[in-house]
Amino acid sequence: MSGPVGSMFSALLGNMSGRNEFSVFLTDELRQRVLRGIFSSYYDGLIGAEVVFDTNRYWCTRLTALSILFPDSRVIACVRDIRWVLDSVERLVRRNAFQPSSIFNYASDGTVYARVENLLRNDGLVGYAYNAVKEAFFGGDNANLMLLRYETLVNDPSRALAKVYEFIGEPLYEHDFEHVVLDNEEFDAKAGTPGLHRIRPKVGAVKRKTILPPDLFARYRDDAFWRDAKLNPHGVLIV
């Protein structure tokens, strides 16, 4: 689930821009201080931890700003074959046949083709995240970027998490991959999408056949760019 810090960061950045007549009182140094203060104000009072994981797709579009504000920060982008992401959302829609989802503005009509198109728009649930990852991956400020593949996480979670801790420079924490708990029923119900954030208690791969039409499934078969070593000129860490 995405936390609120990214949205607050974006809103403040826009409000401190030239569109505001009071921007003449702001310098980049002051802007940086204000933006850095969002993190300290939110997390210091919330949990008081020295290390936090802030979840938001937005950060992949702000690697330059993060490298200036927090030179030791790291961005971990979780990636999966986009076809199976689309398949998962479509399965969720069909499981909730009597509850239109906020993902599609609660529309109760439309076909799977329309839903996929909606998801892959530049501002869509999948399209924005996918384009943000590409921006981070192919941009020049990706020294602190790591891509964590879904396949690695579900097939070899111990190695995947060990790489995460190595990447962020923190001591390894032993996780129980047999009893993972996450379910945000209240949030999902409000979004009209029950089960959106529910996960299985045991980490592992589950093989299945797609429910997407064959032509739609085949349309995005080459979009997992991280699988091609030739498309990684900056040597981004891929686990």
Look at the chain and report how many structural domains it folds into: 2
Among 54, 69, 92, give the residue marking a domain's end: 54
Can you give the pLDDT at residue 106? 84
Whole-structure pTM value: 0.90
CA 183 to the chain's CA centroid: 17
181 with 208, same domain?
yes
Q: What is the mean pLDDT, run by run of 10 residues, along the chain of 239 residues?
A: 92 92 90 94 79 93 95 96 96 88 86 96 95 94 94 96 96 92 81 83 92 97 95 94
| 176-224 per-position pLDDT tens digit | 999 998 878 888 887 778 888 888 899 998 899 999 999 999 999 999 9
117 with 3, same domain?
no
- Tell me the DSSP string of 66-130: HHHH-TT--EEEEE--HHHHHHHHHHHHHHTTTS--GGGTT-----HHHHHHHHTSTTSHHHHHH
33 with 130, same domain?
no
200 with 89, same domain?
yes
| 130-143 per-position pLDDT tens digit | 999 999 999 988 88
144 with 186, same domain?
yes
101 with 219, same domain?
yes
Among 35, 54, 73, give the residue marking a domain's end: 54
The domain containing residue 41 runs over which residues? Answer: 1-54
48 with 68, same domain?
no
